[in-house]
Amino acid sequence: MQNKYNKLIAYFEENMPVAESELHYENPYQLLVAVILSAQCTDKRVNMTTPLFFQRFPDAKSLSEASVDEIFTIIKSISYPNNKSKNLLGMSKVLVEKFDGVVPDDVEMLQILPGVGRKTANVVASVAFNKPAMAVDTHVFRVSARIGLTINAKNPLDTEKQLIRYIPESIIPKAHHWLILHGRYVCKARKPNCNECGITDICDHYQSIVKNS
């Protein structure tokens, strides 16, 4: 298994040396808001929405003083705007009350905030603070299983534990984006572009196609 990971890492280090979030943000607060908004929504749509949002609510304090209706008006084009409006308001209030408006860099502390589950906490810790946190979204969960990086992972936490066992701590933040971007643009859910993929030699899914063809 380690050999498979080594080949994967070598490929992406050469072909995608820079791998970053496609969300637009300038500080940890903005990233946290953007990640909450991005749940089951495209980064493109989030990036269209956040400029006005951050103009109106430039920090946690201003957001904590808003109403759910004010937030909803700005994010109504985002998926699940009702729930996200409530979560954003709740998140900002706790951020102000418990953390003086400063986004914590610890995964467990981040999960105290309303609307912040483990995936969101890992993204913020990894992207904003370069912590070795492996966020597992739908792309990472699917791609890891399809390639064969994970074995019988039943949920995102299973996937996370298996990935960090084999990926060096120093590149976990970047590896997270490798898998996301590979899943978004090459190893797509319904129709993976195997002809464009550079890691077919270590991919269980591709090898099974070749074997059965």
Query: DSSP for 33-83?
Result: HHHHHHTTS-HHHHHHHHHHHHHH--SHHHHHTS-HHHHHHHHTTSSSHHH
Q: Of 93, 119, 204, 211, which is the active-site residue? A: 119
pLDDT of 209 above 90: no
Instruction: Answer yes or no: 4 catalytic.
Output: no
* Average pLDDT in the chain: 95
Q: Of 61, 137, 158, 204, which is the active-site residue? A: 137
Q: What percent of the chain has pLDDT over 70?
A: 100
Instruction: Answer yes or no: 137 catalytic.
Output: yes
Helices (H) and strands (E) in the chain, counts: 12, 0
Supply the pTM of this predicted model: 0.90
